[in-house]
Amino acid sequence: MKQPSHRTRRLQRARKRKPPMLNLVSLMDIFTILVFFLLVNSSDVQQPQGQALKLPEASVETPLDETLVVQVDGRSIVVQGRKVTDLDTDPGGDRIPSLEAELRYQAERNPEQEPGARAITLMADRDIPFALLQRIMSSANQAGFGQISLAVVGKAGEKPAS
C-alpha cells in the first residue's frame, strides 16, 4: 500500500480543522461598557462639582455655551476641575496671581481665540464676598478673558422676561 504524500496529509488535516470562530460575548461586553460610559459622561447641563457650592437663583434666557469654568467656593478656586489656589493662604491685592497664571496657560492651549473674545463661566457660591469676585474678574481680564458669565440656577416655573 502506498503512503500518502506529505502534501496530501497536510490537505487532509486542513479539511478536518474547524474554521476559527469569533467570540461575540467579549465584544458585546466592551460595547455595553462603552455605551454606559458615553451615557454617563454626556450631559448638556453644567453643574457645580462640589456639593458645598450653592449658586444664586435667577431667571435664565439662554443656556451657557461651552466655556472655561472657574469654580469658587468659600475655601478654594478651581479651574476646569484643577485646584488653583486656597483662599485661606491668599495674600490679597487687586488680582490673584495663581489664577491669572492658570488662565494664561488655558489661553495658550487655545491660541485661535482672540484675547478679548475669550470667555469664562464663573460658578461662585452665593455667599462669596463681592470684593473676591472683583479680584477674580480682574485676574481673568488681565489674562485675556474679556467675556465673563456668572452661572446661576434657574428658578423653577418662571419664564424669562421678554
Contact 57, 153 (CB under 8 A): yes
Helices (H), ranges, 5-129: 6-16, 24-41, 97-109
Distance of CA 86 to the CA centre of its chain: 21
Return the DSSP state at 127: T
Q: For 25-54, how does the pLDDT look when each residue is reduced to its tens digit (9 = 90+)?
A: 888 889 999 998 888 877 555 555 555 666
| Residue tagged 463681592 (cell numbers) | 130
Task: List Cα–Cα distances, 131 to 17, 31, 120, 127, 128, in angstroms.
Answer: 79, 50, 19, 12, 8
Domains and CATH numbers, the chain: 6-41 (no CATH), 57-154 (3.30.420.40)
Q: What are residue 28's phi and psi, to 5 degrees? A: -65, -35
Model confidence at 162, pLDDT cuts 50, 70, 90, reads very low
Distance CA(102)–CA(98), nearest Å, equals: 6
Check if the beta carbon of residue 138 is closer than 8 Å to that of residue 93.
no
Q: Which residue has the higher pLDDT, 12 or 45?
A: 12
**Which pLDDT value is given to residue 142?**
87
Contacts 24+ apart (CB under 8 A), 106-113: 106/68, 106/79, 106/80, 107/143, 107/144, 107/145
